[in-house]
Structure 1
Amino acid sequence: MLGEVIAEVFTVSGLFTLMMLLMLQAVLGFDNLLYISIESKRVGEAKAPMVRRWGIGLAVVFRIILLFIIVALFDALSEPLFGFHMPGIFEGEFTFQGLITLAGGAFIIYTAVKEISHMLTVEHIEHSEGGKSKSVTQAILLIVAMNMVFSFDSILSAMAIANVEIAKIVNSAGETLGTFKGTVTDCKAALISSPIPDAVGCRPGKDYQVWLMAIAIIVSGVVMALMADAVANFLKKNRMYEVLGLFILFLVGVLLVTEGAHLSHMTLFTYTIEAMSKSSFYLVIFVLVVTDIISSKYQKRLWAQKEAEILGGGTEQASRDGAQAHMDRKTPAKPPQN
């Protein structure tokens, strides 16, 4: 088994697929890392690093378990569990994947809005560490739970990358009797030359490269663990960027909610809810980051100019006072007149 995994990884196609998976994890893992940094500060500065390490470590373990479950039950997870049908008002066929994505996106939106509201109402911003404090266990459980929500999107995207075409050997009832590594044409030719009892044909299928995806998850987890403290310290020292991070987190929630609604085929007042495209999401993020950088630099320039004006005005006044005192010393005192 181990030899097959190593042989699968250390091939040209395997290494290329692994590189693509690592890039995917890096892109999709940013919002997860942002949430971890914001949530971990609720336990206090001393315990926050431990919470981040435990949260990421447990999240990686559960994400790998979830990977195997999703691959094994991929067809079942996409089947509708229940539906609502109120013609003209609201309709939807809810799947397990759709429900998880909807609930996770709604919770992220709630978290972002709550944090932004807290920042607007707190009296001492520099000493604020968020809203109500949490215990270490609560923070770790929340980090693991939200990581699982983010996992659905990343695992499904990874499955679209890490797969190879196979052919399924089926009987007359459409049941799968076995698999053939190759195209459907090659499978049919193999059945003609070496018939299999009850086999009547071949259908196209996919074999997912689970171990490549697991390696990418582990590597991305190690990178997140190494970067988590740096991201948290950066946000603490640059509080202005924390607002940007919260708005990005809000957009992540919107992305997940629309994706969950799309998976559930939701319609609201006869309007179909479409998933927010990834390209639109990253474009909005790019515009937000650029706007925030320009705004921050302009604000710093205004403060520097105002400070220079204040200091310059004070120096000018001091120079006038000094000159007047010098003139008073040079001018002889007039004798008192009788």
Structure 2
Amino acid sequence: MPELHFDFLLSVEGWAAMLTLIVMEVVLGIDNLIFISILTNKLPREHRVKARRMGILAALVMRMILLATIAVIVTMTTPIFHAFGHGFSWRDLILIAGGLFLVWKATKEIHEAVDPYAHHDEEAAAAKAVSNTLAGAVFQILLLDLVFSVDSIITAVGMTDELAIMYIAVIVAISVMLFAATPVANFIEKNPTIVMLALGFLLMIGTTLIADGFGFHVPKGYIYAAMAFSALVEALNMMARRRDRRVAEAESRRGGSDAT
């Protein structure tokens, strides 16, 4: 296992690098958090918190293992074969596989939300029942954890050479996810329109993962800017709906008092 050095704590540059990487890791964790929230909200209420904690702690363990084998992770960006004029590495293949899974999962969830009675056959019902169990949810979370973990660690390697900074950033980011998971999931559950918006985010993230795997890199800033703008528009819509409900309730009460 590579040695850890904490000399960076004695320099301003070291602290700046650590804080920058922590912020980046927290932002990258948003994708994972949205997926975990949507997936666990379909479980029975008594299993939701447990599934979130298991999935997020598994992500922590996975990233610790990846950091311990950082020499191997660095080589994952080396092309292993060429096709369509692009050299594909293990990282590319993992991103493509993860992106395809995310696109499939988001599309499936959107289809069920739009037309919940589209499939009545026993095979579809059985598959849905398995995916909505604690084990099924945790397994799907682990699959996406692997993709996001590899991408996160490789991004961290590109930002700093200090392994200790990477460990600290990962631990802080996972801690933030652990703390925010339940409030985010509850917020999504209480606001049904947010579910469709979040599924749209997952569809976009999956598409960008596939594009990245094929060598078409989309800057993360554009993705998160689009997500922030969409979230702002939805927040305004929620405020407008609440105002309309208050007006309707006030008119209803006024009408009742006039009748008496």
Deviations 1:201-241 (A, max 9, x none): xxxxxxx2122101211121122112211211222222222
Q: Distance in 1 between matches of 2:2 and 2:11?
A: 15
Please give the TM-score of this superposition, normalised by the length of structure 1. 0.66
Q: Which amino acid aligns with 2:167?
A: A
* Structure-to-structure mapping, 1:209-220, within 5 angstroms: 209-220=162-173
Conserved? CA contact 1:105–1:253, under 8 Å: yes
> For 2:110, which of 110, 116, 123 is the aligned residue?
116
* Structure-to-structure mapping, 1:169-188, within 5 angstroms: none
Q: Paired residue for 1:239?
A: 192
Q: What SS does the aligned partner of 2:45 have?
A: coil
Cα offset for 1:149?
0.7
Cα offset for 1:136?
2.2
Q: Paired residue for 1:229?
A: 182
Q: Distance in 2 between matches of 1:47 and 1:118?
A: 22
> Are 2:80 and 1:81 equivalent residues in the alignment?
yes
Cα offset for 1:276?
2.0
Q: Which amino acid aligns with 1:255?
A: T
Which of the pair has the greater relative contact order for Cα pairs under 8 Å at 6+ separation? 2
Q: Distance in 1 between matches of 2:90 and 2:68?
A: 16
Q: Paired residue for 1:193?
A: none
Q: Paired residue for 1:258?
A: 211
Cα offset for 1:60?
0.7
Q: Distance in 2 between matches of 1:109 and 1:32?
A: 14
Which runs of 5 or more residues in structure 2 are unaligned? 118-127
Conserved? CA contact 1:9–1:15, under 8 Å: yes
Q: Distance in 2 between matches of 1:46 and 1:236?
A: 15
Which runs of 5 or more residues in structure 1 are unaligned? 86-90, 124-130, 163-207, 263-273, 320-338
Q: Distance in 2 between matches of 1:255 and 1:98?
A: 12
Cα offset for 1:13?
2.7
Q: Distance in 2 between matches of 1:2 and 1:250?
A: 37
Deviations 1:54-89 (A, max 9, x none): 1111211111212343x313553223223335xxxx
Conserved? CA contact 1:68–1:210, under 8 Å: no
> Are 2:252 and 1:299 equivalent residues in the alignment?
no
Q: Paired residue for 1:158?
A: 156
Deviations 1:5-49 (A, max 9, x none): 233445433222211111111111111111111122333110111
Q: Distance in 2 between matches of 1:3 and 1:211?
A: 9
Q: What SS does the aligned partner of 1:276 have?
A: coil
Distance 1:283 1:75, change over 3 A: closer
Conserved? CA contact 2:4–2:164, under 8 Å: no
Conserved? CA contact 2:36–2:141, under 8 Å: yes
Q: Which amino acid aligns with 2:136?
A: Q
* Structure-to-structure mapping, 1:83-98, within 5 angstroms: 83-85=82-84, 92-98=86-92
Q: Distance in 2 between matches of 1:75 and 1:22?
A: 20
Q: Paired residue for 1:41?
A: 41
Q: What SS does the aligned partner of 2:46 have?
A: coil
Deviations 1:138-195 (A, max 9, x none): 2222212211211232222212221xxxxxxxxxxxxxxxxxxxxxxxxxxxxxxxxx
Identity %: 31
Conserved? CA contact 1:83–1:93, under 8 Å: yes
Q: What SS does the aligned partner of 1:43 have?
A: coil
Deviations 1:269-299 (A, max 9, x none): xxxxx32222321221122112112222223
Cα offset for 1:259?
1.0
Q: Paired residue for 2:15?
A: 15
Cα offset for 1:92?
4.1
Please give the TM-score of this superposition, normalised by the length of structure 2. 0.84
